[in-house]
């Protein structure tokens, strides 16, 4: 974005394409990209993506993220309380 205060006037579509759409002029800083076209004219934005090919479950050719161990890797565990509305008074960090 330009910081010298230079601006230009650009027409932006306002509204919903299927209900009512009009253009209004707006002042925007120089160097800003032009406005996006109306949703119906967009090629990729708002469109469903093709499903990516995934390895079959149980296929061991590629390591899964749980199979990879890096030096210095940290491991965590979720500890759930058997008491639903208890307050934690202290945590023993000696281990």
The confidence score (pLDDT) of residue 58 equals 59
CA distances from 33 to 19, 63, 78, 89 (A): 26, 42, 45, 54
Q: Which of 62, 66, 68, 4 is nearest to 31 (CA)?
A: 4
pLDDT over 50 at 1, yes or no: no
pTM for the model stands at 0.35
SS3 for 65? helix
Are 62 and 55 a contacting pair, CB within 8 Å? yes
pLDDT over 70 at 3, yes or no: no
SS3 for 23? strand
Nearest-10 Cα torsion for 30, 33, 35, 39: -170
């Amino acid at each position: 974005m330009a910081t010298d205060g230079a601006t230009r006037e650009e027409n932006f579509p306002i509204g919903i394409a299927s209900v009512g759409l009009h253009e209004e002029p707006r002042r925007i800083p120089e160097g800003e990209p032009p406005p996006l076209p109306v949703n119906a004219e967009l090629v990729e934005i708002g469109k469903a993506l093709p499903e990516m090919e995934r390895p079959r479950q149980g296929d061991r050719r590629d390591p899964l993220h749980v199979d990879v161990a890096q030096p210095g890797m940290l491991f965590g565990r979720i500890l759930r309380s058997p008491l639903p509305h208890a307050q934690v008074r202290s945590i023993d960090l000696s281990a």
